[in-house]
Amino acid sequence: MAAEMEPPTLGDAGQTDFREIEDGEGFFVSTVTTIESPEPSSSDPPSMPAEGISTNGPKQEDISLDDDPEDLFAEATEEVSLDSPEREPILSDGPSPAITPVTPTAMLTPRMGLGTAEMFERALDEIEEDDSGDTFDMHIAVSDPEKVGDGMNAYMGYKVTTKTSMTIFSKNETTVRRRFSDFLGLHSKLASKYLHIGYIVPPAPEKSIVGMTKVKVGKEDLSSAEFVEKRRSALERYLMRTVKHPILLKDPDVMMFLESSELPRAVSTQALSGAGILRMVNKAADAVNKMTIKMNESDAWFEEKHQQFENLDLQLRKLHASVECLVCHRKELSVNTASFAKSAAMLGNSEDHTALSRALSQLAEVEEKIDQLHQDQAYADFYLFSELLGDYVRLITAVKGVFDHRMKTWSKWQDTQLLLQKKREAESKLQFANKPDKLQQAQDEIKELEGKVQQGEKDFELISKTIRKEVSRFEKERVKDFKVVIIQYLESLVQTQQQLIKYWEAFLPEAKAIA
Amino acid sequence: MRQEERNGGCFQKIAIIARLAAQHDDLQPCCTFITMTSTLDDSEKEKARSVSVDLNNDASLLIDIPDALCERDKVKFTVHTKTTLSSFQKPDFSVPRQHEDFIWLHDTLVETEDYAGLIIPPAPPKPDFESPREKMHKLGEGEATMTKEEYTKMKQELEAEYLAVFKKTVQVHEVFLQRLSSHPILSKDRNFQIFLEYDQDLSVRRKNAKETFGSFFKNMVKSADEVIISGIKEVDDFFEQEKTFLLDYSSKIKDSTARAEKMTRSHKNVADDYIHISATLNSLSVDDNTALKKHLEKFADLFEKLRKVEGRVASDEELKLTELLRYYMLDIQAAKDLLYRRARALADYENSNKALDKARLKSKDITQAEEHQQQCLQKFDKLSESGKRELTSFKGRRVVAFRKNLIEMAELEIKHAKNNMALLQGCIELLKSN
């Protein structure tokens, strides 16, 4: 696989960047994702910093423009223009809506004809083809956590460095500073745009009141340092996962997040904000709805996959719990080894036989080094193994969410169909009554509903198709991730054993020297 | 519910295991599974007697414990003697003994005046099945959350731990007897002979409740003595040094023993975690139908192998380090006791001097006082002479034992780590080539 990484179309910077990725930086040495990098265009509207997009590929651009209905497509005709005024609504930092899912109905209204829908679907196909060929050249690092401010209003700022040779980005290397709520805000926007049409949007790291409070209060101890490191690492993985998704990568919000120096504060990610409360209400409503929707699954594939993901979820959670246990016990082992080392040293001091005394002191030193080994191994247990599992448990929640959205889409379609039927019945009744305007109204409504039914069916088919592709991509990623991490983890274990051999072999002659 | 089971001890444990066995046909009943037959060959037995050295070399009196049984609350040891000495009735015989019999023998020896100048080998600790018992409770409680294979493995682990505790207790009891049999003076003790030979129940000779209470008081008095006696001015440099050394070393080794025990326990916990991880990885691999299947399978398999090695690391550490420290902690206590007995003799001698002076002043009972003074002096000298000998050989014994065990531990650690590495590297290669 490494051999495939020849980026013929990319610039020189591409070569170096690749080597970076190859060297196994970070945990996600991903070498394959499909992005076809379009040729840089010279007609970029200057107000769009992330625009390197050529106008000869509007089809592809369409995909990333799923958004609020009160938007560009309302005015577009056959071709979607990328002029700034229309783009702005997408980038608005309005209340990151966690409100009822926005269906891209506007985009694919019958007025547009079937042209756009076809283009959209064809574009999806193209992306699928791209999967096998092109190179993904991007590396994001989250680093340098720094506390900003004081007291309860303090927060951690992180440096986000993006290195890429992909031309959709304006620079090869960008550095910005972001805070945690910015990441949450990004996720929130992506989720609202893509989840309901079947894209698996990687979940953001979780909030932690306890963890953050300690940091805010200024407690400079080991556990808050660990917390910050854990979060930093999680944020990095989150970003990398997000950009590995070919659709999400091109999302303007993502690009803005990575490139623009100032980002409007994502206030609506706070738990107690209006949007936050709305989120909670919607979550509850969703849960209730889920229970009441009984879907006739005509597609065995979905049935099978749904079950599969349920099982996977269970097993991964179990494994995650076991690995967390292991981390805990290994940390304990490290602590106990250190404590034994100290007491062995004291015993050695107290020992009056010289050679034995020296040997005991050496034993104490060995055990001290071993305690450090255990600590390092616990670190590897956690960051390699445990966090991977945790990430996938959350990812699978997103996958299940996408399946649920499909169900909702189906349900909506069915409801519309039922409504249409009722209206038809009502209309036929009106035929005999002598109310011509009511009849006309009924007939108009029926026409509209027929359109909606058609749309509902299309939506359902589209989301089904999207999910199939997404699941396939997800599985590929999962296999890759796990394969890589398993080997890395095993290598960490090997390291520990090698060191153990070294330490004990150094100790052995000391023990033999006791006379 | 659990409390009764705790108190019930072995018998309850048998009941629990029998119940588990009924559910899972593969488990052997408790009694047979923990009967140790002489299946260990000699070389293994030799290795097992690791904390003390050079025992059981004298063919005139050979003692071992080939067999033991756990019944209800008690462990029954079969003490087997092979001797060429005429003082015994038969050349080869066995008797059943309980832990309390060993304690009786030890205490009797301690109370024998003639042995005041000797280090009496420490009494073997009471058999302690608390740890595997706790594990069994946890296992029973967690049964519902585990897969069948996981449960089986945990059960195996539990059985192994139970067996390890059992072996350990047999070993310490055996070593106690062998220390006695290899001691030139103690081996000839009459009570020792009774212990080995008397084919009836020894319980009539054992302390009854009243006597136990009495010995409690005696220990209290002894502690008070210790306080007074450590204040006495020592006349002999050797003993002064020994006293300082032993007092300090005693507290340090006690501390080390406790911490070593915690350390090896943590190690066991890690090994146990590997079982759960391996089992879940297995389940994942079974359900998986992607390219990951083989990976997960091998990964699961590896963890299973690794945990066996880690388990051995933990138990070897326990035997070579924790048990070593524990044994010498007890032995040092016995050495301290010798010092105190001698110090008491010194105090008695000094008191007798004072009494003699008083008698001389009063010109009354001078001969008596003189005799008494002579006796005290003799006793003190005897204790000092014998004590010096004992303490010197004790140091030698201790150094040799530490050396042997530390070397063995280091060698085992290296062996296990190399084993681990081979397993890991093998797996990595397999996975990379896939």
pLDDT band at B51 (very low <50, low <70, confident <90, very high): low
- What residues of chain B lie within 8 A of the CB of A317, using their CB? none
B161 φ, ψ to 5°?
Answer: -70, -40
Distance from CA of A291 to the nearest CA of B (A): 27
Give A332's contacts (C-beta < 8 A, 6+ positions apart). Answer: B266, B269
Partner-chain contact A501 B407, CB within 8 Å: no
Other C-beta atoms within 10 Å of A4: how many?
A: 12
Facing A504 at nearest CB: one of B248, B414, B424: B414
Residue A316 has what pLDDT?
A: 95
Say yes or no for a CB contact (<8 Å) between B295 and A483.
Answer: yes
**Chain B: nearest CA to A24, how far in angstroms?**
15
How would you class B276 by CB atoms within 10 Å of its CB: exposed for 0-12, middle for 13-18, buried for 19 or more? buried
| Contact call for A330 and B270, based on CB within 8 A | yes
H or E element at residue A22: helix A13-22
Q: Is A199 helix (H, G, I), strand (E, B) or coil?
A: coil
Residue with tokens 């008070």: B224
Q: Phi-psi bin for A480: left (phi > 0), alpha (psi -120 to 50), beta?
A: alpha
Which chain B residues are within 8 Å of A316, Cβ to Cβ? Answer: 284
Contacting residues of A for B259, CB less than 8 Å apart = 336, 339-340, 343
Contacts of the segment B393-398: beta carbons below 8 A, 24+ positions apart: B394/B119, B394/B331, B394/B335, B395/A353, B397/B52, B397/B53, B398/A353, B398/B328, B398/B331
Question: For A340, which residue in chain B has the nearest alpha carbon?
Answer: B259
C-alpha distance from B287 to closest chain A C-alpha (Å): 8
- Tell if the CB–CB gap between B403 and A504 is shorter than 8 Å: no
Q: What chain B residue is nearest to A475 in terms of C-alpha separation?
A: B290
Strand order in the sheet with A155-164: A138-148, A155-164, A173-179
Question: Phi/psi of residue A155, each to 5°?
Answer: -150, 165
Q: Which residues pair with B252 in a beta bridge?
A: none
Hey, what amino acid is at A270? Answer: Q
Nearest C-alpha of chain B: how many angstroms from A363?
A: 9
**Cα(A18)–Cα(A41) distance, rounded to whole angstroms?**
24
* HSE, side-chain direction, 13 A CA sphere, residue B35: 7
Q: Which two tokens stand for residue A22?
A: 């190859």
Q: Cα–Cα distance between A167 and A172 in angstroms, integer? A: 8
Calpha distance A294→A300 (Å, rounded): 16
Q: Dihedral sign, CA of A251, A253, A257, A261?
A: positive
Question: What pLDDT does residue A239 have?
Answer: 92
Q: How far is B172 from chain A (nearest CA, A)?
A: 23
pLDDT score for B171 = 87
- Report the chain B residue with the minimal C-alpha distance to residue A511: B407
Judge: B414–A353 Cβ closer than 8 Å, yes or no: no
Q: Which residue has the higher pLDDT, B135 or B202?
A: B135
Q: Is the pLDDT of residue B3 over 90?
A: no
Which percentage of chain B shows pLDDT scores above 70?
80
Query: Per-residue b/e over A330-342, b at no fewer than 16 CB within 10 Å?
Result: bbbbbbbbbbbbb
Closest to A172 measured CA to CA, from A11, A8, A30: A11
Q: In this complex, do B273 and A332 lie within 8 Å of one another by their Cβ atoms?
A: no
Mean pLDDT along residues B113-121: 91
Q: What is the per-residue pLDDT for B21?
A: 33
Backbone angles phi, psi at A143, to 5 degrees: -150, -175
Taking contacts as CB-CB distances below 8 angstroms, the residues of chain A near B248 are 350
Mutate to test the interface with B, among A309, A490, A503 (most CBs of B within 10 A): A490
The region, left, alpha or beta by phi > 0 then psi within -120 to 50, assigned to residue A113 is left
| Contact (CB, 8 A) for B121 and B180 | yes
| Crossing angle of the two packed helices A180-194 and A222-244, in degrees rounded to 10 | 30
Which residue in A has a C-alpha nearest to residue B244's C-alpha?
Answer: A350
- Set of chain A residues whose Cβ sits within 8 Å of the Cβ of B302: 490
Q: Sort out which chain B residues have CB atoms less than 8 A from A322's CB and list them.
A: 273, 276-277, 280
Query: In Å, how far is B39's CA from the nearest CA of chain A?
Result: 32
Q: Which amino acid is at B38?
A: S
**From the list A344, A497, A512, which residue is nearest B256 (CB)?**
A344
The answer to whether the CB of A160 falls within 8 A of the CB of A151 is: no
* A336 to B263: CB separation less than 8 angstroms, yes or no: yes
Token pair for A479: 């296999």
Report the residue of chain B nearest A505, measured CA to CA. Answer: B414
How confident is the model over B3-7, as a mean pLDDT? 36
pLDDT of residue A496: 95
**Element at A144 (helix H, strand E):** strand A138-148
SS (H, E, C) chain B: CHHHHHHHCHHHHHHHHHHHHHHCCCCCCHHHHCCCCCCCCHHHHHHHCCCCCCCCCCCCEEEEEEEEEEECCEEEEEEEEEECCCCCCCCEEEEEEEHHHHHHHHHHHHHCHHHCCCCCCCCCCCCCCHHHHHHHHHHHHHHHHCCHHHHHHHHHHHHHHHHHHHHHHHHHHHHHHHHHHCCCCHHHCHHHHHHHHCCCCHHHHCCCHHHHHHHHHHHHHHHHHHHHHCCCCCCCHHHHHHHHHHHHHHHHHHHHHHHHHHHHHHHHHHHHHHHHHHHHHHHHHHHCCCCHHHHHHHHHHHHHHHHHHHHHHHHHHHHHHHHHHHHHHHHHHHHHHHHHHHHHHHHHHHHHHHHHHHHHHHCCCHHHHHHHHHHHHHHHHHHHHHHHHHHHHHHHHHHHHHHHHHHHHHHHHHHHHHHHHHHHHHHHHHHHHC
Q: Considering only alpha carbons, which residue of chain A is nearest residue B295?
A: A483
Asked if B176 and B102 count as a contact pair (C-beta separation under 8 A), the reply is yes
Contact (Cβ atoms closer than 8 angstroms) between residue A64 and residue A251: yes
Of B269, B302, B420, nearest to A497 by CB-CB distance is B420
Quote the mean pLDDT of chain B: 81
From the list B249, B395, B399, the residue facing A350 with the nearest CB is B249
Range in A409-413, B46-50, B74-78, B200-204 with the lowest mean pLDDT: B46-50
Shortest Cα distance, chain B CAs vs residue A327, angstroms: 9
pLDDT for B214 equals 54
Per-residue pLDDT band for B162 (boundaries 50, 70, 90) equals confident
Residue A213 has which token pair? 């409070």
Q: Which helix (H) or strand (E) covers residue A496, if one does?
A: helix A436-512
Greatest CA separation for chain B: 107
Listed range (A124-128, A480-484, B372-376, B384-388) with the worst mean pLDDT: A124-128
Residue pLDDT, tens place only, B256-278: 999 999 999 999 999 999 999 99
Q: Please tell me which residue of chain B has the smallest CA distance to A344.
A: B256
User: What one-character DSSP code corresponds to residue A82?
Assistant: -
Of the residues A357, A497, A498, A505, the best mutation for testing chain B's interface (the one with the most B CB atoms within 10 Å of its CB) is A497
Beta bridge partners of B74: B71
CA A231/CA B396 separation, integer angstroms: 57
- What pLDDT, on the 0 to 100 scale, is given for residue A135? 64
Q: Residue A142: helix, strand or coil by DSSP?
A: strand
Global pTM reads 0.75
Position A94 scores a pLDDT of 39
Nearest to B417 among A343, A486, A504 (CB): A504
- A29, A329, A393, best to mutate vs chain B, most B CBs in 10 Å: A329
Q: Give the pLDDT score at A87.
A: 39
Residue A151 is predicted with a pLDDT of 77
Per CB-CB distance under 8 Å, the chain B contacts of A486 are 295, 299, 431
Identify from B283, B288, B304, B392 which residue to disrupt to test chain A contact, counting A C-beta atoms within 10 A and taking the largest count. B288
Q: How many residues does chain B have?
A: 434
Q: Give the DSSP H/E element, type plus range, for residue A399.
A: helix A387-432
Burial of A511 (0-12, 13-18, 19+ CB in 10 A): buried
Residue B410 near residue A370, CB atoms below 8 Å: no
User: For residue B277, which residues of chain A lie inside 8 Å, CB to CB?
Assistant: 319, 322-323, 326
Residue of B410, B417, B424 lying closest to A490 (CB–CB): B424
3-state helix, strand, coil in chain A (%, to 5): 65, 5, 30
Residue A377 in contact with residue A496, Cβ under 8 Å?
Answer: yes
Query: In the 3-class helix/strand/coil scheme, how is A29-75 assigned residue by residue?
Result: CCCCCCCCCCCCCCCCCCCCCCCCCCCCCHHHHHHCCCCCCCCHHHC
Quick check: B433 and B323 in contact, CB under 8 A? no
Angle, nearest 10°, between helix axes B148-181 and B190-197? 140
Is residue B218 very low, low, confident or very high in pLDDT (cuts 50, 70, 90)?
low
CB contact under 8 A, A319 and B256: no
The predicted structure's pLDDT at residue B58: 72
- Distance of CA A501 to CAs A363, B29, B414, Å? 14, 41, 5
* B336: CB partners within 8 A, 6+ apart: B246, B247, B250
**φ, ψ of residue B144 in degrees (nearest 5):** -65, -30
Write out chain A residues lying below 8 Å of B154, CB-based: none
CB contact under 8 A, A487 and B420: no
> Is the Cβ pair B406, A494 closer than 8 Å?
no
Nearest by CB: B292 against A346, A363, A483: A483
Per DSSP, the three-state class of A157 is: strand
Q: For position B340, what pLDDT does the model report?
A: 87
Contacts of B162 (CB under 8 A, 6+ apart): B34, B129, B132
Tell me the H-state helices in A273-299. Answer: 274-292
For chain A of 515 residues, list the mean pLDDT of each consecutive stretch of 10: 39 38 38 38 39 37 40 40 39 38 37 41 43 65 87 85 84 89 91 89 86 73 84 92 90 89 75 72 76 76 91 94 95 96 95 93 96 95 94 94 90 90 86 80 87 91 92 93 94 95 95 88
List C-alpha distances in Å: B83 to B59, B87, B184, B201: 7, 9, 15, 22
